[in-house]
Chain A
Amino acid sequence: MNAIETGIYSALSGDTAIYAAIGSTAVYNRSAPQGTARPYIVFFHAGGGHENINPSDMQNHLYLAKAVADTPLSAGTIDGLMTTALHKQTLTVSGFTNFWTAREQEVQITETAADGTIIYHTGAYYRIRIDS
């Protein structure tokens, strides 16, 4: 994990309300291992990069963080807790100052597994801006 991803992971896995909602620190970067019990959280880099508009190392990234659960209520509850943990918060990003973290577009998708089980993905894109 890079410094930003470490910061996101720490914010989500270290949140006591999220821990209580998912019953563990089931927070995964990029993808969860096959067969992981739901609910869990997945986040990954969706876009963005270096701004290159000044001599410092300013970066502007977009991450998608979503709850994966068996019910829309569970997915929505965890999504709400993720908002509290990330939106307008300051992440600890080693070597950088996180001056902007904000929730943007919402994501709500329903996945139908091969056995007919419906799985709910609920989350949002978060814009994270850092500077050295």
Chain B
Amino acid sequence: MGVTIRIDVDDRELVKLINAASGPIKPKIVADGVNYGVWQETGTTKMAARPCATPAIEAVRGGFAQAFAQASAITSALAQGVVEKTAQNVERLWKQNIITKGVVDTGAYLNSVHVVDAGTGAFSVEFESMRE
């Protein structure tokens, strides 16, 4: 006579625990702190544009998307690292563009570009994790 054993696995509490442990991923904002940064980016009737933020974002866009290509495999800590590294790269490239494009600047624009956890700038770029 055969014996059938049925085992029901209730992993709802385990899933809850895992989700609670992973925590939310904090978005980063890359911003400038001057009110004329937007005009450097888009130009005026008197001045041609010298985009510095947009090329920086375009330069990191591919790598950012690639990092999240397998979103289910990426850990929360790794996702946070990607977000922070991307934001820092945008800051670095943005500043590099201000220097190499010959933007007329007393240093106020260059020195105002920074990464922050929250808040807004005159022209800001926000990077959020693409991980669900």
A44 touches B48 (CB 8 A): yes
A-B contact count (CB 8 A): 52
Main secondary structure, interface of B, reads helix
Partner of A113, one of B45, B48, B55: B45
A47 and B54 within 8 A (CB): yes
Q: Is the interface of A mostly helix, strand, loop or mixed?
A: strand
Q: For A44, give its contact among B38, B45, B49, B56 (CB under 8 Å).
A: B49
20 contacts between A and B (CB under 8 A): A30-B49, A31-B49, A44-B48, A45-B51, A46-B51, A46-B55, A47-B51, A47-B54, A47-B55, A48-B55, A49-B58, A51-B62, A60-B58, A62-B58, A64-B54, A66-B42, A68-B45, A111-B44, A119-B45, A125-B54
Asked if B20 is an interface residue, CB under 8 A from chain A, the answer is: no
A31-B42 in contact given A44-B49, A46-B54, A46-B55 (Cβ < 8 Å): no
In this complex, what residue of A is CB-closest to B50? Answer: A44
By the criterion CB–CB under 8 Å, are A109 and B51 in contact? no
Q: Mark B23-51, 1 if CB is under 8 A from A, else 0.
A: 00000000000000011011111111101
A57 to B26, CA, bound (A): 37
- Shortest B47–chain A CB gap in Å is 7
A residues at B contact (CB < 8 Å): 30-32, 34, 38, 42, 44-49, 51, 60, 62, 64, 66, 68, 107, 109, 111, 113, 119, 121, 125
B residues near A113, Cβ cutoff 8 Å:
45
| CA distance in complex: A45, B55 (Å) | 9
Say whether B83 faces chain A, with CB atoms less than 8 Å apart: no
Are B54 and A62 neighbours in the complex by a CB distance under 8 Å? Answer: yes
Known A48-B55, A66-B42, A109-B38; 9 more pairs at CB < 8 Å: A31-B48, A31-B49, A46-B49, A47-B51, A60-B58, A64-B51, A109-B39, A111-B39, A125-B54
Is B57 in contact with chain A by the CB < 8 A criterion? Answer: yes
Contacting residues, chain B, for A47 (C-beta < 8 A): 51, 54-59
Looking at the assembled complex, report how far the CB atom of A61 sits from the nearest CB atom of chain B, in whole angstroms. 8
Distance between Cα atoms of A18 and B33 in the complex (Å): 37
Q: Which residue, of A44, A47, A51, A121, has the highest number of chain B Cβ atoms within 10 A?
A: A47
Which of B42, B47, B54 is the one whose CB lies under 8 Å from A121?
B42
Which residue in chain A gives the minimum CB-CB distance to B44?
A111
Query: Quick one: which of A31, A45, A62, A66 contacts B47, CB cutoff 8 A?
Result: A31
Q: CA separation between A116 and B51, bound complex, in Å?
A: 26
Per-residue contact bits, chain B 59-79, to A (CB 8 Å; 1 contact, 0 not)? 100100000000000000000
